[in-house]
Amino acid sequence: NATHVHKIQDKSLAQTDGPIIFLTPHFGCWELTARMISRFRPVTFLYKPLRKTKEEAFLLSMRAQHDLFMAPANKKGIFKLQRTLSAQGAIGILPDQDPGEQGGILSPFFAHNAQTMTLLAKLARKNNAKVVLAWCERLNLGRGYELNFQAVDVLSESGNLEDDVALMNNVIENLVKTKPEQYLWNYKRFKSEINYRS
């Protein structure tokens, strides 16, 4: 069964008390990662809404199952994430897509400046939240997945937002280096260096 999770590493991290942010890059099967986390505790994930209403409704019906809740990537959704953390709950963020100039800053990623989301670092610092890297790695020959959890530090000693974001990018980069073929590379994060065709 291709959707079978054969092994779960360090699942106790998913059951930690207090506010927690799951850092889930576009690596392996991120949709399955979110769903599996919700089996350990209720979690609210940030997502980018689709433009078409019917497709949006279908996507939400597929994603919002068990104890998995969705928050749109807008002011209302960010308020929902903050409210969840204030209630000692868990949220999930996929931080490696282009957040636009208003929601991100340029930060090193594989030795290139990449437009990088600042939201995760801001929420972690404001709420003193634990940050756990979570990913479902695809196993060879269609044997399913391995779910992994790893405690990570994305808050710098300097307290500087740029340093926090650089730490987060470094965490993602180190994961991607383990299996680069399982990373989603097509987000246009390198706009400062590459002239993407529309």
Task: Output the average pLDDT for the chain.
Answer: 88
Q: Report the candidate in 41, 44, 32 with the shortest Cα–Cα distance to residue 1.
A: 32
**CB–CB of 33/148 below 8 Å?**
no
Confidence of residue 1 (pLDDT cuts 50, 70, 90): very low
Most confident of 55-69, 98-112, 158-172: 158-172
> Coil, strand, or helix at residue 68?
strand
What band does 62 get if pLDDT is binned at 50, 70 and 90?
Answer: low
Backbone angles phi, psi at 13, to 5 degrees: -65, -30
Comparing CA positions, the residue from 126, 136, 125 lying closest to residue 179 is 136
Alpha helix stretches (DSSP H) within the chain: 30-37, 53-63, 75-86, 119-127, 161-178
Name the pTM for this structure. 0.90
pLDDT in tens, 103-141: 899 999 999 999 999 999 999 999 999 999 999 999 988
| pLDDT (mean) for 58-80 | 81
d(CA 81, CA 94): 13
